[in-house]
Chain A
Amino acid sequence: MIEVENLSVVFGHGAKTVHAVRGITFHVAAGEVFGLVGESGSGKSTVLRALCGLAPASAGRIAIAGEMQGKRRDRAFYKRVQMVFQDPYASLHPRHTVDRILSEPIAIHGLGDADARIDSALADVGLGPTFRFRYPHQLSGGQRQRVAIARALILEPKILLLDEPTSSLDVSVQAEILNLLTRLKREHGLTYVLVSHNLAVIAHMCARLVVMNAGRIVEEMTVDQLRAGAPREAYTRQLLRASIGYDRAAAAEMVTFD
């Protein structure tokens, strides 16, 4: 479904060049949940943004459903690929009602029947019709993320790119959103690419994952290998150790990988 070959993303030029992504390759099959995990600055979000055309690929190729993708993406692309952002406080227009937020993609793509589509999208994400004419500030964090997911789903895409969809939410709300994503994937036959810094979230959702550091893929593995606690690379072992909880002895041994 998604093929990324030798992708690089470079920002700036001259002395201020930043190599955000340095030649990475991975494949995602249809119907799979694929995880990208890494610390800040590892380039994981940039990969996601490059996939949907928000960041420029400076080298390498991206193919989605067999079609090569260039710099500009057409409308059909966005009908197939949608994204959910990290912070639902920033990704919803503060002066638009939920109704207007959800009707915009329908209008852009010239799909009719906006009324029924909005109602069913809201029902899909577990929000009743009473939410339709509210503003984002009248919603809680979890409800906003549900609206953001509804906006992504309203075009009936095949691929959903999820950039830290639960990292700004409380754990009980995180559980609800992760359950919602699991159900939607089953009901709509979606393919997910999930970016997170939280190994537990990735392990819960994904079957296969890559660990990124400093723009490179450190290791690709299945979630069973991760659960068995036997990552091949020292970097991954350290990440796994640090995400279990605090340990004075382990903290003393932490090193920086470049």
Chain B
Amino acid sequence: MNDATLLAVDDLSVRFHTRHGVVEAVRGVSFALGRERLGIVGESGSGKSVTGRAILRLVPPPGEVRAKRIAFDGTDLMQCDEVAMRDIRGRRIAMVMQDPKFSLNPVMTVGRQIAEAYRAHGQGSVAAGRDRALDMLAAVRIRDPARVYDLYPHEVSGGMGQRIMIAMMLAPDPDLLIADEPTSALDVTVQMQVLAILDDLVRQRGMGLIFISHDLNLVASFCDRVLIMYAGRVVETCRAAELAAARHPYTQGLLQSLPRVDVPRAELPTLMRDPAWRDGKLP
């Protein structure tokens, strides 16, 4: 882990105005990321995905994003105009979305989409784009890259679609990757292999990684540091290896409610939520 800060988020809030009133999806989140693997865990509706999108300014109006600062490599993303953001998105900061079905272009072969992602930010020729796409497909453990290159998104399985998304996001060689549940559609063994690819990129190239997941065991074993989110707030930050010793009752409750292979239990403890957690108070 490198100590240099790649991304610093200061007091991020996201609100949505709906028919039923204002929904505060993210409420004052601050964190700093070095060249490391940072996990964000929480249940659905905890604001972890919206946090990832807000960093890339991908929350469209009428969604309201406020932050004192989102500093990425010396620039404040909150002050950037759309032209500047376009240079950053994909090239400097890439994001792997949760569902490949909705993120891939249905009328373009997956190989061309990966090549396009590469060439959109570089000077590469068409042939270089194709080579890069084939390399990336091989890197995410797709067995026959040349065949898969010419497939359309509807012809690939969910797991393969997810790997194609990862290949596409990694093709321009980003400094920071925001991965929103990148492996939840994958089988456990494939998941391990894909995580190994991300792991190597962080270690060898010094890429920063924000890994958004609901899987506590996975985050504890894969990441360096973990933020635990509840109701739009970071309730606890700890080293991933020390997650089991987490102090917040919400984190403990989540850990307790997981069924385990090694420990038989007649009944799983269920989580009792305390309204005070919403305001960030420790009971």
- The chain A residues found within 8 Å of chain B, CB to CB, are 39-41, 141, 170-172, 174-176, 178-179, 182, 197-201, 203-205, 223, 226-227, 229, 238-240, 242-248, 250-252, 254, 256
Contact = CB atoms under 8 A, between A and B. Distances in A.
Given A179-B267, A246-B222, A171 B188 contact: no
Contact of A179 (B44, B159, B218, B268): B268
Given A39-B189, A200-B259, A244 B217 contact: yes
B264 interface: yes
A203 B259 contact: yes
Given A39-B188, A40-B159, A251-B192, A179 B270 contact: yes
A225 to B, nearest CB: 12
Given A40-B159, A203-B260, A252-B196, A245 B269 contact: no
Contacts of B214: 170-171
B261 A200 contact: yes
Please tell me the size bucket of the interface on B: 35 or more
A199 B261 contact: yes
B157 interface: yes
Interface in B207-252: 214, 216-218, 220-222
Contacts of B158: 40
Given A171-B254, A246-B199, 16 more contacts: A170-B43, A171-B214, A171-B216, A182-B266, A197-B187, A200-B260, A223-B264, A243-B188, A243-B261, A244-B217, A245-B217, A246-B221, A247-B192, A250-B192, A254-B192, A254-B193
Contacts of A199: 261
15 contacts: A39-B187, A39-B188, A40-B157, A170-B43, A170-B44, A178-B259, A198-B259, A199-B261, A239-B188, A239-B189, A244-B217, A245-B220, A246-B221, A246-B222, A251-B195
A168 B278 CA distance: 24
Nearest to A166: B259
B223 to A, nearest CB: 9
Contacts of B269: 175
A7 B269 CA distance: 38
Q: Which of A182, A223, A248 has the most CB of B within 10 A?
A: A248
Interface of B: 43-44, 157-159, 187-189, 191-193, 195-196, 199, 214, 216-218, 220-222, 253-254, 257-262, 264-271
B159 to A, nearest CB: 7
A179 B270 CA distance: 9
A251 B191 CA distance: 9
Contact of B196 (A200, A239, A240, A251): A251
A223 B259 CA distance: 13
Given A171-B258, A176-B270, A179-B270, A197 B188 contact: yes
Contact of B271 (A175, A200, A245, A248): A175
Nearest to B255: A171
B186 to A, nearest CB: 9
A245 B199 CA distance: 14
A201 B189 contact: no
Contact of B267 (A141, A182, A200, A244): A182
Contacts of A239: 188-189
B268 A175 contact: yes
Contact of A200 (B189, B199, B253, B258): B258
A174 B260 CA distance: 13
Contact of B199 (A40, A201, A248): A248
Contact of A174 (B193, B217, B257, B262): B257
Given A40-B159, A178-B259, A203-B261, A246 B267 contact: no
A200 B264 CA distance: 10
Contacts of A179: 267-268, 270
Nearest to A39: B187
A176 B267 CA distance: 9
B143 to A, nearest CB: 8
B188 A178 contact: no
Contacts of B261: 199-200, 203, 226-227, 240, 243-244
Given A178-B259, A246-B222, A172 B195 contact: no
A54 to B, nearest CB: 21
Nearest to B42: A170
Nearest to B214: A170
A172 B253 contact: yes
Nearest to A200: B259
